[in-house]
């Protein structure tokens, strides 16, 4: 229904990084905003608009564990502060996993070819925990596949249980 009131947008705070900010995700449990900066790495901000807009570096693009461009971010929360932060490591078509709350490196994975092709040039990712049917009992990881030539880009679905098992999480 387009006859209703128009949304009103109000800026409550601005935050700045040195170069191109990409994906972001908020951990509602801890009030933490995680932001990927394309060629630099990952940053943490307090999500509360009343907090200072100070960025804390938490992981650097190093060409091995995280390859530029750092892009999409997703969370797999566990308990009060634990779980995982997943980052699209676009430069090598992989996904880097960090253990929370300390944002320590936990491993990397790729979505390889099978019945359909794997992913490459990923910008956006998402992870939803829960039971999504027989193939996705512990959660569903979704990755945008930016280069799917000769067809258009699409999305690939991966079992979060399989990712955890492969990485020994």
What is the per-residue pLDDT across 111-151, written as a single tens digit (0 to 9) for each? 987 666 788 888 899 999 999 999 999 999 999 988 877 88
Lowest mean pLDDT among 6-10, 73-77, 128-132: 6-10
Name the domain count of the chain: 1
Report the share of the chain in percent with pLDDT over 90: 80
The whole-chain average pLDDT of the chain stands at 93
Residue 11 inside a domain? The answer is no
Distance CA 17, CA 37 (A): 7
Residue 101 inside a domain? The answer is yes
What is the per-residue pLDDT across 48-58, written as a single tens digit (0 to 9) for each? 999 999 999 99
Q: What is the pTM of this model?
A: 0.91
Hey, which residues does 99 pair with through a beta bridge?
84, 104
Cβ count near 139 (within 10 Å): 18
Residue 13 inside a domain? The answer is no
Quote the Cα angle for 142-82-25, to 5°. 45
Residue 1 inside a domain? The answer is no
Q: What is the extent of the structural domain holding 132? A: 21-167
- Domain CATH code at residue 121: 2.120.10.30
């Amino acid at each position: 229904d387009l006859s209703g009131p128009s949304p009103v947008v109000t800026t409550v705070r601005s935050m700045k990084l040195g170069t191109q900010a990409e994906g972001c995700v908020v951990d509602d449990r801890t009030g933490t905003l995680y932001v990927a900066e394309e060629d630099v790495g990952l940053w943490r901000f307090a999500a509360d608009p009343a907090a200072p807009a100070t960025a804390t570096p938490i992981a650097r693009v190093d060409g091995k564990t995280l390859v530029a461009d750092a892009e999409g971010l997703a969370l797999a929360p566990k308990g009060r502060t634990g779980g995982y932060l997943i980052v699209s490591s676009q430069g090598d078509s992989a996904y880097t996993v960090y253990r929370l709350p300390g944002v320590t490196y936990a491993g990397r994975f790729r979505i390889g070819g099978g019945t359909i092709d794997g992913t490459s040039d990923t910008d956006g990712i998402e992870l939803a925990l829960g039971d999504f049917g027989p193939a996705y009992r512990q959660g569903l990881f979704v990755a945008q596949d930016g280069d799917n030539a000769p067809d258009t880009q699409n999305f690939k679905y991966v079992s979060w249980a399989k990712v955890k098992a492969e990485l020994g999480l």
